[in-house]
C-alpha cells in the first residue's frame, strides 16, 4: 500500500504531510523510537532544530542540531526564520520554518523531538496538521535506572532530571496518542499505527473534493 493509503484509486492527489510532535521525559526511548520510525518510513523527515547550547560529545552540527550563537539566533528570530522557538534551561532552541512548510506541502511528514512546550506551540501554529504523541516509560524506577546507566551524571543531576521528567509527564493528557514504551517493538508498532491513521484523515487529502465531484458525474 502507498504511504497515503489510497493506492488503487483511479485518481490520486498529493496528501498533506503530518507534523508529528513527539515528546517524552528523557530516558523513555523517544530518540531511539523516532530514529527507527525515520528509517522505516522514507516519507518522514526529522526537523533539525537550531540551538545556542554547545554540542555534546558525539553530536554533529547540522545533524543533531544547527549549533549557532545567541546573536545569530536573535537575528533569526527577528527575520521570522522560526516556526517556533523557546528558551529551555537558559538556552535557545528553535524550529526553522521553511523546511517544515515545504515538507507538508510536498506530502512528507515531519517529526519533532520536542518538549511539551514546543509541542504546544507547534499544535497552536498548525492545528490541522499537527499530531501530538507522548511516550511514557513503564515506571519511574526504570527511567532513573536508564539515566544512571548513561554514566556521567551525579546524583544531584539525576534528581534534577527526574524532577524534570515528572514535570514533562504531567502534560501527558495534552497529547493525541500516548504510548507506554514497555516493549520497544510494540511501542514502535503503535507509533507507526498512529502515523498511518493520521495520514488517512480526510483533511490531509485536499484532492478528495475534486475526486468526489468527478465520481458523482460518472
Binding residues for ligand 5GP, rule: CB under 6 A, are 49, 53, 84, 86, 88, 93-95, 113-115, 117-118
How are beta strands 109-113 and 91-96 bridged, if at all? unpaired
> Would you call 53 exposed, middle or buried from its count of C-beta atoms within 10 A (0-12, 13-18, 19+)?
middle
Query: Of 109 and 115, which CB lies nearer to ligand 5GP in the complex structure?
Result: 115
- The minimum distance between CB 197 and ligand 5GP, in angstroms, equals 24
Report which residue's Cβ sits closest to ligand 5GP. Answer: 118
Secondary-structure percent of the chain, ordered helix, strand, coil, rounded to 5: 45, 20, 35
Query: Of 6 and 73, which CB lies nearer to ligand 5GP in the complex structure?
Result: 73
Query: Of 84 and 109, which CB lies nearer to ligand 5GP in the complex structure?
Result: 84
Query: Of 114 and 187, which CB lies nearer to ligand 5GP in the complex structure?
Result: 114
Query: Of 55 and 206, which CB lies nearer to ligand 5GP in the complex structure?
Result: 55
Contact call for residues 53 and 41 (beta carbons, < 8 A): no
d(CA 34, CA 11): 32
For 122, the enclosing helix (H) or strand (E) is helix 116-125
- The minimum distance between CB 211 and ligand 5GP, in angstroms, equals 36
- The minimum distance between CB 122 and ligand 5GP, in angstroms, equals 8
- The minimum distance between CB 88 and ligand 5GP, in angstroms, equals 4
- The minimum distance between CB 55 and ligand 5GP, in angstroms, equals 10
Compute CA 133 distance to the chain's CA centroid, rounded to the nearest angstrom: 8
Query: Of 107 and 118, which CB lies nearer to ligand 5GP in the complex structure?
Result: 118
DSSP string, 39-79: HH-TTEEE---EESSPPPTT--BTTTBEE--HHHHHHHHHT
Q: Which residues pair with 134 in a beta bridge?
A: 23, 178
Q: What is the strand order of the sheet 50-51 is part of?
A: 66-67, 50-51, 91-96, 82-88
- The minimum distance between CB 34 and ligand 5GP, in angstroms, equals 11
Amino acid at each position: 500500500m502507498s504511504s497515503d493509503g489510497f493506492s488503487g484509486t483511479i485518481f490520486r492527489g498529493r496528501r498533506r504531510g503530518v507534523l508529528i510532535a513527539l515528546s517524552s521525559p528523557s530516558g523513555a526511548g523517544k530518540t531511539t523510537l523516532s530514529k527507527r520510525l525515520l528509517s522505516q518510513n522514507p516519507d518522514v523527515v526529522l526537523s533539525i532544530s537550531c540551538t545556542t547550547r554547545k554540542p555534546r560529545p558525539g553530536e554533529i552540527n547540522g545533524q543533531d542540531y544547527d549549533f549557532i550563537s545567541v546573536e545569530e539566533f536573535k537575528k533569526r528570530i527577528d527575520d521570522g526564520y522560526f516556526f517556533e522557538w523557546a528558551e529551555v534551561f537558559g538556552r535557545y532552541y528553535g524550529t526553522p520554518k521553511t523546511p517544515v512548510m515545504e515538507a507538508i506541502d510536498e506530502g512528507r511528514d515531519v517529526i519533532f523531538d520536542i518538549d511539551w512546550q514546543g509541542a504546544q506551540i507547534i499544535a497552536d501554529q498548525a492545528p490541522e496538521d499537527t499530531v501530538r504523541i507522548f511516550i511514557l516509560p513503564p515506571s519511574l524506577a526504570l527511567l532513573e535506572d536508564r539515566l544512571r546507566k548513561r554514566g556521567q551524571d551525579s546524583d544531584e543531576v539525576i534528581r534534577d532530571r527526574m524532577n524534570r521528567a515528572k514535570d514533562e509527564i504531567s502534560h501527558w493528557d495534552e497529547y493525541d496518542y500516548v504510548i507506554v514504551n514497555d516493549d520497544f517493538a510494540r511501542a514502535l508498532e503503535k507509533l507507526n499505527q498512529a502515523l498511518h491513521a493520521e495520514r488517512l484523515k480526510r483533511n490531509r487529502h485536499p484532492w478528495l473534493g475534486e475526486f468526489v465531484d468527478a465520481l458523482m458525474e460518472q
